[in-house]
Homo-oligomer: A and B are copies of this chain.
Amino acid sequence: MTQPPLPTGPAPRVTLREVAERARVSRTTASFVLSGRRDMRISADAETRVRQAARELNYRPSLLARSLRTNSSQTIGLLSDQIASEMFAGEAVRGALTSALQHEHLLFVGETGGDPEVERSIIQGMLDRGVGGFVHASMYTQVVRIPAVLRRHPVVLMNSYTRGKRLPAVVPDETEAGRSVARELLAKGHRDGIVLVGEHTAQAMAGEDRLAGIREVLAAEGTDLAAVVDTLWWPDHAYRAMSTYLSSVRPTGPTPTAFICLNDRVAFGVYQALAEVGWQVPQDVSVISFDDSDLAAWLRPALTSVAIPYFEMGRRSVELLLAPEPPAVHLVPMPVHLRESVGPPR
């Protein structure tokens, strides 16, 4: 490594508090604006005031200004099997970047495509460039094998486990999310007409865990799912599976009162199939889902959905990577985002 250039003397130390006061916002708001975070709603007006105050006072964020210049080896590698998933990658990378910057690190990003040979080459390339620790991210929750070379370096798994669960891993708490969804429906009066829509077997660990949580809560109330509509987690598959299911529902038989969709894309297809037979949400039937993606807010009526906290997973992965004694498995809570698609049974 080249020696970093000598620090160019201390900058005038204007504090964040001074910026916040001049901008007439809280210190937290000023910090969020100046660190580029987007996980808190800040008005455009407040943002403008903060940036203007920072400029006028010649404020230099202490972490960034000081550190990136003097710690050229503080570098983290983020390895992902697939960076392009619009659900996962953007927010998770942003969370990891935010935490890395706050801890005076920079971030390499590498996509392996799930190919072990590519993975090994990228890891070696990153090590050659001074990477000191790795976040190993998966698009879908799964059990992974990590290459031997990684075991000689600090590593945190994001959205995956190793078989022995010995490596630190950051995963969403899917089982508790399943419980939350079941409780939400029970609280509204649903009981014996709850139908699950989505494939819940095979690779879909998230589906299995969600189902386990749902069934646990329903069983405690002496009931179970009324039916399972098995479908891949995509709108067109879900639309077709639901259309078939709906045509099999007899007016004289038991009637579904609520559909639990295993993700928002499934819910998208479920809405289309319901619209076609003229069932209104939530008057005729309730719909609840997982993901809390943009889709959930865009559907009419807006969809109640359980959030996957991607930003938080990225952020915590880097936090754990830099922590002295990280826990083996770190479960991230999945909050239910209530909207308009759940009501009492008809």
Contacts and interface: CB of A to CB of B under 8 A. Distances in A.
Given A51-B115, A68-B122, A83-B90, 20 more contacts: A34-B118, A36-B115, A38-B82, A38-B84, A61-B117, A61-B118, A64-B121, A65-B121, A68-B125, A72-B128, A83-B93, A83-B97, A84-B311, A85-B90, A86-B90, A89-B90, A97-B110, A106-B108, A107-B109, A129-B129
A209 B302 CA distance: 33
A134 interface: no
A122 B294 CA distance: 30
Q: Which of A65, A68, A294 has the most CB of B within 10 A?
A: A68
A129 B132 CA distance: 13
B75 A129 contact: yes
A292 to B, nearest CB: 13
A185 interface: no
A19 to B, nearest CB: 11
A269 B117 CA distance: 45
17 contacts: A36-B111, A36-B118, A61-B121, A64-B118, A65-B117, A69-B124, A72-B125, A72-B128, A72-B129, A83-B93, A89-B93, A93-B93, A94-B111, A106-B108, A107-B109, A107-B110, A236-B297
A43 interface: no
Chain A interface size range: 35 or more
A268 interface: yes
Contacts of A90: 83-86, 89-90
A259 interface: no
A248 interface: no
B86 A94 contact: no
A103 to B, nearest CB: 12
B86 A87 contact: yes
A113 B68 contact: no
A153 interface: no
A91 interface: yes
A69 B126 CA distance: 9
B69 A125 contact: yes
Interface in A132-167: none
A82 to B, nearest CB: 8
B84 A94 contact: yes
Nearest to A63: B121
A118 B101 CA distance: 10
A34 B115 contact: yes
A117 to B, nearest CB: 7
Given A51-B115, A61-B117, A109 B86 contact: no
A337 interface: no
